[in-house]
Structure 1
């Protein structure tokens, strides 16, 4: 179910704030999607150009193509007017078991590389050749950086792939983007009796001293074909359910820099009129009434 009133603001509720800078009035807020699949992934039937057209029709300013283990991009003549299509990849390692195990859950250890070097377009990326949970993640994060991208740890509660302690360790002394609200039906954002929610994971990692920038994403696989997928009795992973609003001009380098410094907020429906951060104080103005819930340790 879509949560129409949920958002994450960098710097709020005890999260570390990005460096405070005087906002430039000319710099817009761009609606962006950081987790998108096409038929290059093998688990979607929609070509990249149709995916791009779908997102533009739904008001997005940019998307990052993140197919499994293949760097995605799009030819300029296939990109709809008003949309930026940025290259990326979902570095994907799927194991039946790994060390340390988490009960009977498989180890589906995925990291997005966001806004990678365009020269890598079309390159295939092998899975990490390891069965140790931490080492797989370390290898994927390192590869994301070698590709010129920003590492983004995906769906930590999908088969409970990453604990708060592991997330904090992987982040080290550098900021790390983590997918707190993945809007697919099996991402387990709410946790279960034995695992905390992704929002609590985020707070726990912050309490351990890590700098974590939380994102919301679609992880969409199905678009115009969603009804056909449901008719087959399969879950449809659809779009325009979770996104980021990035404070940047509509250029790849500017978007990349804003993501890297945490100059964005994540939402599943709320749009803000303004947001300001000054010496740890967050001032928010929304287009309609909303309530804020702080989760802190």
Structure 2
């Protein structure tokens, strides 16, 4: 039996670590189709218990990093990758950056300048059929190593189709080029707030950092290494462990906001292959070694879901975390 290990995106956490709730895609009235001012956006997300929001207006950079009544507002933009000319083309989120880029700049230039300035890049609603069919991301486009994030939950495209593209991209990119899944609101109006978000693990509550810059730095670092999960309501923890000399993926589902019916936990492997399913507040999957990766979906009541990042199955001698792999 070949010794195997899991590369755990969540890894070891300090005793002070906390989970913070964040929105990576929302619009203000600075977008042509936005209906809320920045102040109204901040107030709406505070009412829904968010800790931070990335402001991502259409082709208009929000370049301020600041606290707003306890909510951290993070720089960002939803940039059109013109094909052949705007408004046609795919949409790219440029997060944690104040680097402006021209609207008509080639996609490669926008991505290079953003990544070079320390920003994170996310593929927006990858299965979107809009913009006369030019809005969809191909698997080949999702292979770009500068992309760190991809939206699996966005009301502009079916989650099942987004998941299929994510699985295909994961299989194509492999374990050393991670692509992390997010859930977002893509909100333009008040009633669209609170449909999908991320829970990000950071070292301490955001307000305990010395400055908004330090708080944003902690968030960016956690997002870049996959220490977060996507949710539409379910709270859960995901971890790797070893039992009887073999690795396993473990899940614990929180009861807060859930009905009494136990959730359904599903494990998937490379390419979206179904591996196992169970009901209960805790579940584990013993890894065999042929899965490629293991990712988890938790189905709660109604539309409430949560999705883990992939745990890659590797030879035992391989680095156990992305920090180790990148050294």
Q: What TM-score results when the alignment is normalised by the length of structure 2?
A: 0.65
Deviations 1:234-264 (CA, angstroms, capped at 9, x unpaired): xxxx110110000013111100100011100
Greater percentage in strand: 2
Deviations 1:151-198 (CA, angstroms, capped at 9, x unpaired): 111111112521223312x12xx662111111x2x32334xxxxxx11
1:80 to 69, 81, 89: 69
Q: Residues 176 and 18 of structure 1: is their aligned pair in 2 closer, same or farther, counting only changes over 3 Å?
A: farther
Partner-residue secondary structure (3-state), 2:46 = helix
1:218 matches 2:185: yes
Q: Is the 8 A contact 2:26 2:56 kept in 1?
A: yes
Q: Residues 107 and 281 of structure 1: is their aligned pair in 2 closer, same or farther, counting only changes over 3 Å?
A: farther
Unaligned runs of 5+ in 2: 1-5, 130-134, 207-214, 256-261, 272-327
CA distance in 2, matches of 1:156, 1:199: 9
Q: Is the 8 A contact 2:122 2:147 kept in 1?
A: no
Q: How many residues align?
A: 237
CA distance in 2, matches of 1:150, 1:95: 22
CA distance in 2, matches of 1:140, 1:187: 24
1:200 matches 2:164: yes
1:252 matches 2:219: no
CA distance in 2, matches of 1:93, 1:128: 8
CA distance in 2, matches of 1:71, 1:270: 32
Q: What residue in structure 1 maps to residue 311 of structure 2?
A: none
Q: Residues 278 and 97 of structure 1: is their aligned pair in 2 closer, same or farther, counting only changes over 3 Å?
A: farther
2:138 to 163, 166, 171: 163
CA distance in 2, matches of 1:175, 1:91: 14
Matches for 1:1-297 after TM superposition, within 5 Å: 17-18=7-8, 21-73=11-63, 76=66, 79-81=68-70, 83-95=71-83, 107-117=88-98, 125-130=101-106, 136=107, 138-159=108-129, 161-168=136-143, 170-171=144-145, 176-182=148-154, 184=155, 186-190=156-160, 197-210=161-174, 211-223=178-190, 226=191, 238-248=192-202, 249=204, 250=206, 251-272=215-236, 274-278=237-241, 281-288=248-255, 289-296=262-269, 297=271
Deviations 1:190-243 (CA, angstroms, capped at 9, x unpaired): 4xxxxxx111111111111342111111100001xx5xxxxxxxxxxx110110
Partner-residue secondary structure (3-state), 2:173 = coil
Q: Is the 8 A contact 1:128 1:140 kept in 2?
A: no
The structure whose RCO (Cα within 8 Å, separation 6+) is larger is 1
